[in-house]
Each structure stands twice: as structure tokens, then as C-alpha cells.
Structure 1
Amino acid sequence: MNKEIIFNLPVKDLDKSKAFFAALGFTFNPKYSNEKAAFMEVVEGSIRAMLMTEDFFHSLINKPVANAMEANEVIICLSCESREELDSLIAKATAAGARIPHPPEDHGFMYDQGFEDLDGHLWNLVWIAP
């Protein structure tokens, strides 16, 4: 069985969110995108996200959509191949408008830092020494 991760994220402004993530180097598949949702390649072939307008996201569930600016249910963590890749992604996220909640943490065997996207979703980047 081929396994991949696809997660759905509600966003306030789909076009602004697409521009933000494109600035980080993520790509979009127009075949599975429309005015309500954009299919984003985080890691091609294995990790993908569907960015959905809040109204569309809400139409798929039977409870309120959480406001990630006020509370978080999940932290999305992505591994990086190097400290340099991690620092580069943080710099791109900052330039695209992300909020950086804490400075990088260097534990010797592990280096990590996170950012908050335009809708308040938390993303953590981590490099672990081989």
C-alpha cells in the first residue's frame, strides 16, 4: 500500500495563503484546486495539504472551525535535511509574513525552530543529526 499524508487546513484568504506557501517553495496542483481549495505539495509524493477556505472546510465538519490565532490543536512538524535548509525555510517564512514564536533551539543532536503561518497554524522544522 502506498502511504502519504494529506492534511486539510482552513484558511481565511486562499490566495494570500497560496502566495505565502509558494514563497516557501511549496507547489500547487491545479488539477485538484479551485476557488475553494488548493492542493499543495509539501513534499512531493508523500506529504500534501489541502488549503481550504473556512466556509468550505466548515461544510465538511459538524462543529466549529477552530481559530488557530487563539488556540491550536496541532503542530505540523517537518524534518529538514540540514540546519541550513531549516534556516532557509525560516527566513523564507519570515519574509512571507510568518510570525516566529521562539528562537532556534540547538540541542547538539537536534536543531529546531518554528513559525506561525498567516492563519496561525504552527509549523515546526527540525533537523536531527544522522
Structure 2
Amino acid sequence: MTDIFVNLPITDLERTKAFYTALGWEINENFTDENAACIVVDKNIYLMLLTRDFLSTFTDKPIIDPGTHVQAMTAFSKESREAVDAALDTGVAAGGTEPRPAQDYGFMYSRDLEDPDGNILEFVYMDPVAAEKGPDAHLAEQGTQS
């Protein structure tokens, strides 16, 4: 099994740890210090919250400001539209922001949440038929075509 580590630039480690733990994720203390925190999203998925200075030791490229530029948008699936809404409500209450309205494509429902530094997390629900067979299958099941 492959482990996935998503490295995110942050400015205030304690604030950011509080935000991510409010979303229900845990901190792996073995890989957490004054420069970084390892957030356990799932068995093999981790978010590495790295101070900008520390992240810069891993690359020769400039570190973007996620408050003004998008490097990546990390999506997390949820089991229902209600679970997507609950994740956003929790994230906003913990200091995040919702940068745009919910996106409803019929077969897929998503909402974006920016962490306190502007890193974008997408929470997504996809109809099981669409997830298995593609969006056209969902539309056909609904009696419509794209």
C-alpha cells in the first residue's frame, strides 16, 4: 500500500493544528514538532502542515502564498451531501472560510473550505452510480443525457 503525504504551507502551527483536529483528524505526534504537524486523515493519507520556512528546505522553488495563489486543491470524499455540509460547517466554525458557493452537478456535490492559511480542501459527495460508472450513467439513470 502506498502512503500519501500532502505537504501544505502554513504560518501558525498551533492555529492550524487546532483547525485540522476540529475537522476530526488526529495528529501523529511522532512526526510533529515546532516546524510541522502530521495530520492523519486515514490509514494511508496524511497532511503535513509545514511552516513556510521549513517547507522551503524541501525545494528550491518559491513557496506560494495559498491565500493568494492555488497550488493544489485536495479533495476528500464524503458519504452524503449532508456530510459535506457538516464538514464545511465544522471547518468554518474552526476558523476556515468558504470561498465560493456549493457546486451541484447533479451526480456530484462539492464545497470548498479554505484553512486559515488559504489552503483549499474540497469536500465531495458523488452519486455511487456515477462514481462506479461515470457521470453519463448517472444522467441516464435519471432519464437525462448530457
* TM-score (norm. length: structure 2): 0.83
CA RMSD of the aligned region, Å? 1.0
Pick aligned residue for 1:113 from 104, 111, 114: 111
Pick aligned residue for 1:89 from 82, 87, 96: 87
Cα distance in 2 for residues equivalent to 1:59 and 1:90: 32
Per-residue deviation at 1:19? 0.4
**Larger-gyration structure (1/2):** 2
Cα distance in 1 for residues equivalent to 2:90 and 2:124: 16
Query: Unpaired runs of 5+ in structure 2?
Result: 129-146
Percent of aligned pairs with the same amino acid: 37
Cα distance in 1 for residues equivalent to 2:15 and 2:62: 23
Q: Summarize the alignment of residues 1-130 of structure 1 with structure 2, pairs less than 5 Å apart.
A: 2-43=1-42, 45-130=43-128
Q: Letter of the aligned partner of 2:58 in structure 1?
A: L
Give aligned pairs, total.
Answer: 128
Query: Unpaired runs of 5+ in structure 1?
Result: none
Which has more helix, going by share of residues? Answer: 2
**Larger relative CO (CA 8 A, sep 6+): 1 or 2?**
1
